[in-house]
Structure 1
Amino acid sequence: MWAILNIGGYKFMFKVLHRMTQKEDPGVYEDKDSHLPRVLTVKDFLALGVGTIVSTTIFTLPGIVAAEHAGPAVALSCLFAAVVAGLVAFAYAEMAAAMPFAGSAYSWINVVFGEGFGWIAGWALLAEYFIAVAFVASGLSANFRWLLTSFGITIPAALANPLGSKGGLVDIVAVIAVVICAVILWHGVRQAARVENVLVVLKVLAILAFIVIGLTAIHVKNYLPFIPHYHANADGTAFGGWRGIYAGVSTIFLAYIGFDSIAANSAEAKNPEKTMPRGIIGSLIIAVSLFMAVSLVLVGMFHYTHYAGIAEPVG
């Protein structure tokens, strides 16, 4: 009896392992994506990448990292984080050019490693996007409500906070923002790309305006010493020295991971062999340049200690 059960168990495990490592035929994804129009250009992917990477983080992370880890050398943290992210970006660019399928890492892992590993990657990507959408929508809601208060308008707590938080039932502004985005996407990728291009241009112009105006208020003494002496923070993290810069790298690195959204749309790219690498690498270069410029202006305008405990130093 036990021998039969053992044999059955081995067979079951073998089937599971076989299923986990069974690789998908790339032709399956090509057929599934054949109905998608290839209309997106390098310009569209640059807008998508910059819009994703240069999100609310550019208004928060530079000041936080300067105050908690790197001091005026926060720009070096941005640069080194970009080098690390660039290695990942090169891999994404290569895969997106070779296998321009909708689904990005999910599809690639299915083809290269097997369906089981692809299943895990797929759920991880879904979780990533759910969390990212909720985070961005919540941030938009907070900023919009702050704007309304300057006009004397206050949204009731029940409609301003999520369920279970400060007497809230639903964050109505966040819900409306998500619905509007869904409607735009429902009208097609071409229309969505046009809207996104306009919004990204406005965002970049606002950042450039801040940089130009901020340059007029820079005090050179705020950059000295550029790399403060090392010491341990109260929570055990590093501040100052190269260790502080590296601590800043680990914080800023996550802000650069936005090129997955570019790869996920590779099935709708014109000439993906050229479009995808240019879009992924180009958006990272633009984003890094903006991050470094904002960082240098921030710590030049005020001493880095000014940003301690301030979540939105630019705002």
Structure 2
Amino acid sequence: MLAIVCPGQGAQKPGFLNDWLDLPGVRASLAAMSEHAGIDLVEHGTVSDADTIRDTAIAQPLLVAAGILAAQQLGADDHALHPARSADVLAGHSVGEVTAAALAGVLGEEDALRLVAVRSQAMARAAAAEPTGMAAVVGGDRDEVMAAIARHDLTPANINSAGQVVAAGAAESLAALREDAPAKARVIPLQVAGAFHTPFMAPAREELAAFAPELTAADPAPALRLLSNAGGQLVETGDRFVELIVQQVASPVDWEACMREFAEAGVTGILELAPAGTLVGLAKRELKGVALQSLNTPEDLEAARAFVREHSARLTDTPSALTEEN
């Protein structure tokens, strides 16, 4: 059984789309997505520096575009390998949920890029309102970690794994947490613009709620399990996805719950789309015995395609999909 996962903000690296531009049609595809997102994705994916692409309003559309692009190329020679037809489970971390929804057919490409443009700009504005941030708490006892986060009026914004929780909130509270780190835990400041997935993002949530009626959302295919960061719950309708993605900007991301759902569903292989590394890294520590594959560059495509064929239960069940159009 195959899970395809889509990374969140922080996974982007300068120049990470350079190699993809050598493939036929990629530049034109990125140009079209740039129109929908309102930024130059070719420039930011190839020549922009780390500080530029750290900007929330740039990073988020860039990540969604990269995931869509990688999925398109995965199925370029065999349409059945596209995640919409081959994935048994689809999930994304934070903004990666928008990518996953696009790959599941819940959102069209244009709507996905329009949504992430509104989302990223709204979150950037909310982050600029007052000094806030995020810090990863790595190691320590989970109960003690959560108690320390609460003691300093912070929010567990990302529950990434058994050994990693990201605390978020006011800058002075994060500084206090660093001075009062839980036993056997490290507090590592993250280079992000603000306290994402906390009540500080309430203004962004309101902007998304106002935009949401402009989206056309379809239901995922019945054979495809689309998971939400909200406790790993199954998203069965397009309307539910829109409701959850609006709430998500001001609510915690529970990736640990998503990985727990992978295990309970019997996932045997996890493929992370570009820019890959973060989510397969978490899975390596949490899901022992599950095969892992990263799709970062065109050089990874053949290995990724073989990985999909090996692990996808849907391909085994629906061989006729080989002749379908993408």
Would you say same fold, with TM above 0.5?
Answer: no
Length-normalised TM-score, structure 1? 0.23
Higher relative contact order (CA 8 A, sep 6+): 1
Greater radius of gyration (CA):
1
